[in-house]
Amino acid sequence: MATAHAQGAPEPSSTEPPVSLGTVDVVDSAQAQKRFDSAASHSSVAIDSFTATTPLVHVSEVLAGQAGVVASDRGNYAQDLQVSVRGFGSRSTFGVRGVRILVDGIPASMPDGQGQAATAQLLTASQIDVLRGPLAQLYGNSAGGVLQVTTRNPRPGGGAQAGIGLGSFGQRLAEASFDFGDQNLGGVLGVSHFETDGWRDHSAARRTHLNGKLVAQIDARTRVTGLVNLYDQPLALDPVGMTKAQFQANPRQAIAATTAFGTRKSVGQNQLGLVLDHQLSDTDSVQLRAYGGTRQLTQYLSFSGEAANSSGGVVDLDRDYYGAAATWTRSLRLASGLPLTLTAGLEAHRLSEHRQGFVNAAGTSGDLRRNEQDSAGNMDAYAQVDTWLSPRWRAIAGLRTSQVRVNVDDRYITPTNPDDSGSRTWRHTSPSVGLVWTATDQLNLYANIGRGFETPTLAEMAYGIDNRGPNYGLAAARSRQWELGAKWRAAAHELDVAWFDTRSKDEIVPVATVNGRSVFQNVDNVRRRGLELTWRANHGTWSPRVSYTYLDAYFGSAFTGAGNATIAAGNRLPGTARHAAQLALDYAPQAHWQVGAAVNVSGAVFANDRNSESAAGFAVVSLHAAYRVGSSDAGATRWQFWARMDNVFNRKYAGTLIVNDGNGRFFEPAAGRRLMVGVRTQFL
């Protein structure tokens, strides 16, 4: 859909819905106005890879300070980032769950709901859009929130940029990007290489990332965009989690199991995409999208997996994935002169993977313990209407119907391991409606309501309670959400406030962990409610920002959890902090200099459903500075020297948690004080 749940849509016209996550090159005043007029919590973070004062290695660097969003660097490249939106996604022990991630309209979330954020390259990105709340449900499965990363359009006339960075604990960064062509045919290509020795023992990693975009303007009505993304991470040592005692004794250590079993991961992912935008008439347009990719992964876990009923301690995965979509949009004006936009579309996505498990024999692959061919796919249809009811009232309504199907072809069949082949299909319809009242030219009030769903991933349904698998009886979680909000804009100030409430049925939670197998179940009456507040100002050389999130996420009813433990009603969802905030200030005393500081604050976070273990709250300070020389005129060369220091006071805290870990190794320590410096040059 080219509106509230557009996947790679072109920049919308002035009559298209302002909550579009469509591709745009910069966060300009028109786009800011559309977000201001939208009936949703929708924010956008502009990215300029030349002026940035971060290395732009992780999405978490630019999402810090986004109310309602937690994007944390685990300090462990074998487990990817931890991302949650309003508590959705907090249960994930690796990868991303419950939050839909898109990169240039291509899903980084697979049909079963599991996703990765690492494949988004920030060197060539122009912005990250964040959509929260009921209207995010129009993206379908696992859309508790939506993050879309957009690659910038090629710079007219071409140009080049290069940079290097060095930091504490062996961080090394080298990057280069190139723009070429003209308005009829142009492209951008970026390559980055990052290495680290790791703050913790046994946490070194290296990776190389290429991202490219080619844009061909065939004629005044037709544009074709080609996308390529190549990601290679041949080494990521895994220091794994710690118990609280181990964390308190020495947060930089790697436990003995990491050496005994050679815990590590290697991954390679390559994908291509093609987008066709065509204007059929003055009122009608279509967009066609297609993509395909491969992913290869090998991971050595922290146990042998040699038991007869184990799936092994080595994971070997070979995946193909592909998809296509078509969107039709009609933008017109009613007899009253007010705009009306209609959108409809179809999408189909599929993954097919060969998954094997082997005994981890002291860091080498041993006997086979798992062999299956898995697949997952979805077929979605959607429609949306967006219209101004009057000069001060705007309404948006959408409907998406989804079918998600998973199949397992078991090829590891023994006298003690019978054939577990089978399939499961989930169907869901997600309606949403929103309303905006323009109280004044500076104040908008809005409300919206909707329903969503989240299927279990292939990994979560892999095993049943009877120690066999898969768990075909596991249901999809279903949620009902509503939201009230206000957006105020003045000459030098912006203020966004939103109150939200979500109730879920069939929430997916763990019930047992046996021989490395995590078994999940469904529970009802899970609540997520809270308040988000963001204030930004611009007073000449000073730019202060404040964001605050209050999240009350808890189990509304008691149930029996892992280890037959009773989970009491009122227990908090693990991985969620009740309070989180950021206070930031940038100061630019002259054109060449910029300095700034930020304080990130988080309340305590429980590690398991029982709420028997928790990580203490923290407040950490970061500093950054940049000095720029040169001109931005065509044909000129300019330089930026930058530096940043994180965790200035060397606080000892758990940055992330491995929630509900069966071995009680919940804690992933955040790095101590660390410094990184770099230089970038740009040829225009």
C-alpha distance from residue 557 to each of 379, 553, 567, 570 (Å): 34, 12, 8, 7
Structure tokens at 76: 């462990």
End-to-end CA distance of the chain: give it in Å, rounded: 36
Task: Please count the residues of the chain.
Answer: 684
Question: Residue 190: inside a domain, yes or no?
Answer: yes
pLDDT single digits (tens) 610-622: 999 999 999 999 9
Query: Cis omega before residue 470 (within 30°)?
Result: yes
Region of 292 please: left (phi>0), alpha (psi -120 to 50) or beta. Answer: beta
Strands 393-410 and 364-390, bridge-based pairing: antiparallel
What Rg value do the Cα atoms of the chain yield, rounded?
Answer: 24
Supply angle C-alpha 194, 196, 199, rounded to 5: 145
pLDDT single digits (tens) 189-217: 999 999 999 999 999 999 999 999 999 99
Structure tokens at 564: 């037959």
Task: Return the residue matching tokens 């249960």.
Answer: 91
pLDDT for 464: 82
Q: What string of H, E and C letters represents the secondary structure of 30-66?
A: HHHHHHHHCCCEEEEEECCCCCCCCCCCCCHHHHCCC
Low-confidence ranges of the chain (pLDDT < 50): 1-27
Strands 637-646 and 618-630, bridge-based pairing: antiparallel
Question: Residue 338: inside a domain, yes or no?
Answer: yes
pLDDT for 26: 34
Whole domain around residue 470: which residue ranges?
29-418+428-540+550-616+626-634+641-683
Which residue from 123, 147, 7 is spatially nearest to 55, judged by alpha carbons?
Answer: 123
Question: Residue 4: inside a domain, yes or no?
Answer: no
**Amino acid in the structure at residue 254:** A
Residue 67 burial by Cβ neighbours in a 10 Å radius (0-12, 13-18, 19+):
buried
Helix, strand or coil, per DSSP, at residue 349:
strand
**Number of Cα atoms under 13 Å in the Cβ half of residue 238:** 24
Q: What's the whole-model pTM score?
A: 0.92
Contact at 8 Å (CB) between 579 and 602?
A: yes
Question: Residue 3: inside a domain, yes or no?
Answer: no
pLDDT for 397: 96
Which residue from 292, 228, 296, 229 is spatially nearest to 267, judged by alpha carbons?
Answer: 296
Question: Residue 8: inside a domain, yes or no?
Answer: no
Distance, in Å, from the CA atom of 672 to the CA atom of 116, rounded to the nearest integer, reads: 26
Q: If you ran DSSP here, which 8-state letter would residue 25 be given? A: S
Question: Residue 307: inside a domain, yes or no?
Answer: yes
pLDDT for 10: 31
pLDDT for 516: 59
Domain total in the chain = 1
Distance, in Å, from the CA atom of 192 to the CA atom of 207, rounded to the nearest integer, reads: 8
Contact at 8 Å (CB) between 525 and 505?
A: yes
pLDDT for 415: 86
Question: Residue 334: inside a domain, yes or no?
Answer: yes
H-only helix segments in 264-332: none
pLDDT for 6: 34
Question: Residue 545: inside a domain, yes or no?
Answer: no
Distance, in Å, from the CA atom of 337 to the CA atom of 205, rounded to the nearest integer, reads: 58
Name residue 215's beta-bridge partners. 186, 225
Structure tokens at 682: 């740009």
Strands 339-361 and 314-333, bridge-based pairing: antiparallel
Distance, in Å, from the CA atom of 305 to the CA atom of 516, rounded to the nearest integer, reads: 7
Domain holding 405: CATH number?
2.40.170.20
pLDDT for 162: 97
